[in-house]
Amino acid sequence: MRGLAHLPASKSEANRALILHALAGGGQLSNLSDAHDTQLMQALLAAAPGTDQLSAEDAGTVMRFLTAYLAVTGWRGELTGTPRMQERPIGVLVGALRQAGADIAYEANDGYPPLRLGGFAPGTAVAGPTCLSVRGDISSQYISALLMVGPYLPGGLELTLTGAVGSRPYIAMTVTLMARFGALCRTNADATQLTVAAGRYQAADYTVESDWSAASYWYALVALGPVGSEIMLPGLRRHSLQGDQAIAGIMAHFGVETTYLPAEQGVQLRQGPRLGGPEILRLDFTDCPDLAQTVAVVATALSLPVDMTGLESLRIKETDRIAALQTELAKFGGDLQEVEPGVFRAVSTGFRVAGQTVATYHDHRMAMAFAPLAMRGPLAVAAPQVVRKSYPQFWSELAGAGFMAGEAG
């Protein structure tokens, strides 16, 4: 396999930039993705002033970022989502926003969407910033949502993260993008206390980088492909804001070499020798949980056992991704065993690709993580359209690379 693949823009960057752009009231955003989550965020931000009912569908960043944005801008109405979204917790974010002055009620089950927003009435006699405290091991999207509306709280925001802090690169991405739009955000030495100055964002232009999460599937294709496989991925940066750039170091263990091209033109992937190391490799996905499915599939397909930690957030994604991985890997002769609390070992015995059908569970990453197995044999993918959430052109890009996974009937 040789060639060039086009990646979507990062929806993590894009959805943050869209919120900041809306609060700033101006500037030009470039390279926005046609991924459904990004298109949905744009549409809902545009529709909010003229409606009292919005649906975030199945998009986690949209639901969480919009909850904070709509709260501080005083929007009144119902914010809902798909049945699966109504099973994904949002109580930590709502509780913090209520403390800051937001009127938010639960329409059905406490702690879960749909939400009824009734305006914003912050205290008027606040000395210093609004002080909030949340757990650091929750979804970083809650933390990012609070940080982005921080300048609009009385006196700004002082946010304290308690306990272990996960997904730090996503928090750092938020802080960096806020600075691009003129916000002042200071952090202490261990980044457990973040202070956002009161004020207003400034209109700014920003070009969104290509998506390292999407790049992970091409890393998998090169790792599983024939000897000498290589692919060029334009639009990726060496100095990226995205935590999923970690895939470059992770996939070196599985024999994929990464070369950064001059002038931030992208990267060249090439199949090379696998890195030596312990009999069972140990990888922590605390800061890059969206890479876990890709790595589990590659590890089992290559019969290279890996102990995986930092997977706690996978239980509350589009599906329970740990359970989904266990079910689908078993079809090929792989497994994801919890060998000790919080440690999952990806292993295989007699791994074989021979026409199996992969269920996708309404989860775009299940479809794309298993698709590279087509390098090892025929398989079918159920509900392949789920990739529209983040990488609508995925299947056409695969076809351009010379192969295609079949759609299950």
């949905």: which residue's tokens? Answer: 40
Candidates 37, 290, 307, 363; catalytic one: 290
Answer yes or no: 34 catalytic: no
Residues with a known catalytic role = 290
